[in-house]
Amino acid sequence: MNTPKATERKRDRALYARLVESYQADRVGVFVDFDRLNHPKSPIWSPWENVAPLLILLIGSITVMFTVDLLLGTAIMVLGVFIYLFMIRPWISQRVYRRAIEAAMDNLHNWNILWKLGGLVITLNYMNKTRCVSPDGDWKAFVTRYLPEMEMEGLDAYNSFNQQVRDPGAKDDKDVRTLGDANL
């Protein structure tokens, strides 16, 4: 006997699989909120890529201040701020984005954690204004509503349904050609 919790988990996994498949097929886009995911309590935060560049810039400028010239060290520190803002910060943002997408698309558990942190946004690629923002949005309702073409049974049922719509003269399933058939 299936308990409601087990049925709910099975439905969540099916919805998640539909979301991942839609993402891979480029029907939906998943965007990452860098500011919400780049902090010490986030599972994808890396202390080394956030702290090490700042330490290198600070130690380098302080070393120049004490060993060479105070004015030159101050100028290097100001230059370091601009290097951090315009070079290192975008690099960190790109790496956080990559890690977040890899983690989110890896399994449902990771997806739920990142969703609860509020770091993800789902958008339809053909309707950019239609989106679901975490943590307040309900990604399950979004997938159910906007990605209904995929049945719970998966791609085979979807393909056979589409083929029957395209080839109404087919008498039974043997006459229907699916996308998996060679030379459509």
pLDDT digits (tens, 9 = 90+) for 5-28: 666 688 888 889 899 998 988 888
Residue 61: predicted pLDDT: 95
Averaged pLDDT of the chain: 81
Number of domains in the chain: 1
* C-alpha span between 21 and 96 (Å, rounded): 22
Residue 89: predicted pLDDT: 94
The verdict on residue 25 lying in a domain is: yes
Q: What tokens were used for 132?
A: 């679901």
Among all chains, which residue has been given the structure tokens 């560049």?
Answer: 53
pLDDT tens-digit series, residues 65-108: 999 999 999 999 999 999 999 999 999 999 999 999 999 998 89
- For residue 15, give the nearest of 143, 136, 115 by alpha carbon: 143
Residue 7: predicted pLDDT: 66
Residue 161: predicted pLDDT: 47
The verdict on residue 180 lying in a domain is: no
The verdict on residue 1 lying in a domain is: no
Domain membership of residue 100 as a residue range: 8-165
Number of Cβ within 10 Å of residue 164's Cβ equals 14
Q: How many helices (H) and strands (E) does the chain have?
A: 8, 3
The verdict on residue 170 lying in a domain is: no
Residue 178: predicted pLDDT: 38
pTM for this entry: 0.70
| Secondary element (H or E) of residue 132 | strand 127-133
